[in-house]
Amino acid sequence: VVSGARTPVKISVLEKQQPKIYKQFLDIAAKLEKHYRDMQDIEFTVERSKLYVLQCRSGKRSAAAAVQIAADMVKEHLISREEALMRIDPASLQSLLHAQIDDRAKGAPIAHGLNAAPGAAAGIVVFDPDVAVEMKRQGKKVILVRPMTTPDDVHGMVAAEGILTSQGGATSHAAVVARGMGKPAVVGCEALLIDLRTRQFTVKNETVHEGDPITIDGSTGNVYRGELDMQAAKLSSQFGQVLKWADDYKALGVYANADTPEDATKARDFGAEGIGLCRTEHMFMQVERLPVVQEMIMAETPDSRRKCLEQLLPMQREDFQGIFRAMKGLPVTIRLLDPPLHEFLPSLEDLLVEVTELRATKGDAATLSQKERLLRRVRVLHESNPMLGLRVCRLGIVYPEIYQMQVRAIMEAAVEVKKEKLDVRPLIMIPGVGTVTEMKALKDLVTTEAERIIKASGVKVPYQVGTMIELPRACIVAHRIAEYAEFFSFGTNDLTQTVFGYSRDDAEGSFIPVYLDRKILREDPFQVIDQDGVGEMMRMALDRGRSARPDIKVGICGEHGGDPSSVQYCHDIKLDYVSCSPFRVPIARLAAAQSVLKDKEKEKAGTGSKPDQD
């Protein structure tokens, strides 16, 4: 049997054939489990009606089994709640929250990329976000396949079951948005040769056309041809029980990144204590709003921009009302517009092709005129390095009317919800501040508009104004910024980029795999906080910020908020909270509890909890 030359019968057969030996086996198994205080993998044999136990060891288990076993052993008084919490790997909980491919259905993958967002999805291939929306309307399941995604593609991502890209890394647009939506994603699948013109991709001498079915596994990064069978996600009562125990021990708050009322509701279902990041730009990308946003960007004067913003105001206000209602008085941190404006417009290359074709074919004059006007504006907004250009708080300085509209929408929404006898706690976050003068100027803008709304409505709404710390300079002058900022939130995605000087989308698809393989980097810094560099910047900002404002609340809202070792670091430096995508909230809750329990173990051993530094 041990050699694999024989197939053993099921143990239930032993009960029928030799009931005495079966009872003896159960007694021994119970004693071993009680002695080792863990589920045991027992090897035994029966020879001439005599039971021989050959060996035993702690048994391997799935994530679902680990939760079940831990909860059962607490119930049986074999282990404490603390031990139960420490026996579960937080990262393994991801597999419980998403559908998975049935093991019996798996074949050979046709391609492999980065496992960017967990879970599995199957559907027909589409290459265009508009087609994805139309197919969804027809009741068809689709997988959106793109070289990379941009904010222009969000409506297609919403319609798709999953996302597959040939470029990008684990913190690319596709990865971050998919995780927030709870949709599986495989990114950076470089073997895919995508031809958007003919609507097909080629991989390993196989060609997959639009309309062909594929399956993606965001937990492993595998891509399969055809539609494979799935196992639906199932959350047991023990899962909820274990997380309640975690909440009893953890010191860190766990918030969620959520951009819609649906996201907010999901976040609360998973135990989020607030929203640590609501990205307002995602609200602009809805199909019916994008033309208004583009017209606002095309406007040449503040007055004409304000007219467009007046159309966007009720849309944003409605979004915020839904989120405030869903969160029922929990804090909601809303980031004012962050990305460069060109992201809301067609790409320069696409427009050049369209204008050239219209001129060459003498196409419709009105269409040509409109495209030429758009092209002129895109050229004006085009930047050599948009990540460090006209974006974040600089947008609010150059185009203050945009931030004024957003603050008005936030506060008017808060007033309306407050009139419904519901508590609201808006926290207005200014992105990308690097100087105290930026912070002061924009706090003045925010408070002036907010107080105007409060005075006009006669409804008092408590609110705070803070900033996202994502630049090294902001960390260095955090004590000055804290004179005006009432809270800090570390944007660890961009802080990692600016500390390392890496472009995350380029780095993860090119040299970071080599760096990891050659041990130049121990971990991918875009997935695990780099404690020696980025972490020290965070520690500096925290200490300096609290020296100026002792009660300042500080958290993180980058993707690191759902990584267990990063949660441990945030606990060690005494942040107030972490924020992550809704589907990572259970992971962060358990990791936060384990951080406290590890401190207890270190105290017993007589050591401190400060992490080792190189």
The residue assigned the tokens 């684990």 is: 170
Taking each helix axis as running N to C, give the angle between helix 564-572 and helix 585-605, from 0 to 180 degrees, rounded to the nearest 10: 50
CA atoms within 13 A on the CB side of 456: 11
d(CA 119, CA 110): 18
Q: Is-contact 379 424, C-beta < 8 A?
A: no
CA neighbor of 64 nearest in space, from 95, 100, 98? 95
Helix (H, G, I), strand (E, B) or coil at 307: helix
In sequence order, the β-bridge partners of residue 267 are: none
Q: Is 557 a catalytic residue?
A: yes
CA distance 61 to 63: 7
CB 252 within 8 A of CB 571: yes
Catalytic-role residue among 173, 282, 342, 560? 173
The single-letter DSSP state of residue 380 is H
Structure tokens belonging to residue 70: 């831990």
Tell me, yes or no, if 189 is annotated catalytic.
no
- Is the Cβ–Cβ distance between 392 and 497 less than 8 Å? no
Q: How far apart are alpha carbons 59 and 38 in whole angstroms?
A: 8
CB of 41 within 8 A of CB of 31? no
H or E element in which residue 397 lies: helix 393-398
Contact (CB, 8 A) for 334 and 298: no
The DSSP H or E segment spanning 305 is helix 302-327
Q: Rounded to an integer, what distance in angstroms lies between the CA atom of residue 45 and that of residue 1?
A: 9
The catalytic residue among 189, 475, 557, 580 is: 557
CA atoms within 13 A on the CB side of 2: 7
Contact 502, 522 (CB under 8 A): no
What is the set of active-site residues?
Answer: 173, 557
